[in-house]
Structure 1
């Protein structure tokens, strides 16, 4: 059952990543990987929130491993970093790491505040 939950979450997360990236490319252009940055930060926030809630194995499998795992992407982040000019690549890496960690912390804080 857990494998099916992971697969279901991934089946939603991967197309979401693709659609967000395409939507942003049309609106702001393809010069900077805004789509990957956005989904990685959003996924970090959601995962920070989820792991700070009381343990629910089904939700963790569906949303954490499945959805967040497919939504966020280290391989695309790495590839896009290599394609950018050096100064922009450094900005992208620093922004991705700083915003991702901050988003995870914010998600965890929100989970603590909303916890009964």
Structure 2
């Protein structure tokens, strides 16, 4: 495996993570800490940017794999994983697999919430 793709993802991910942190801090200061506005903002804006980027990549940027790794997987992956989830869902839907997309959405949300609860209970059981 080449080190270049790993570095592209790592550098992009570091940048995206810092951006996510700064948006969270800014949202908390501006809007208050009682609702996860920062998370909501990064999930929505990240999904929007992912849509813009993927379409531009396909239509104008010749589908550059290095650019995709740096921006989509790295920056946007560090900024929000919901953007990747959103893209995967729409790709399934656009390929004619609406039922698979629905199962993916429902399964991802339900199983992720269940996994979080299981993790909480596991720690609480031994605390």
Q: Same fold (TM over 0.5)?
A: yes
1:10 aligns with 2:13: yes
Rounded Cα–Cα distance in structure 1 between residues aligned with 2:34 and 2:81? 19
Q: Which residue of 1 aligns with 2:77?
A: 69
Bigger Cα Rg: 2
- Give the gaps of 5 or more residues in structure 1: 75-99, 105-116
Q: Which residue of 2 aligns with 1:111?
A: none
Q: Which residue of 2 aligns with 1:48?
A: 51
Rounded Cα–Cα distance in structure 1 between residues aligned with 2:7 and 2:67? 12
1:30 equivalent among 30, 33, 50 = 33
Root-mean-square deviation (CA), in Å?
1.9
Tell me the alpha carbon deviations over residues 37-81 of structure 1, each in whole angstroms, 9 at most, x when there is no partner: 11111111111112212211111000000000010145xxxxxxx
- Give the gaps of 5 or more residues in structure 2: 91-127
The DSSP-based 3-state class of the residue aligned with 2:35 is: coil
Aligned residues: 77
TM-score (norm 1): 0.61
Query: Which structure 1 residue ranges, 4+ long, deviate > 4 Å from structure 2?
Result: none
* 8 Å Cα contact 1:39-1:72 kept in structure 2: yes
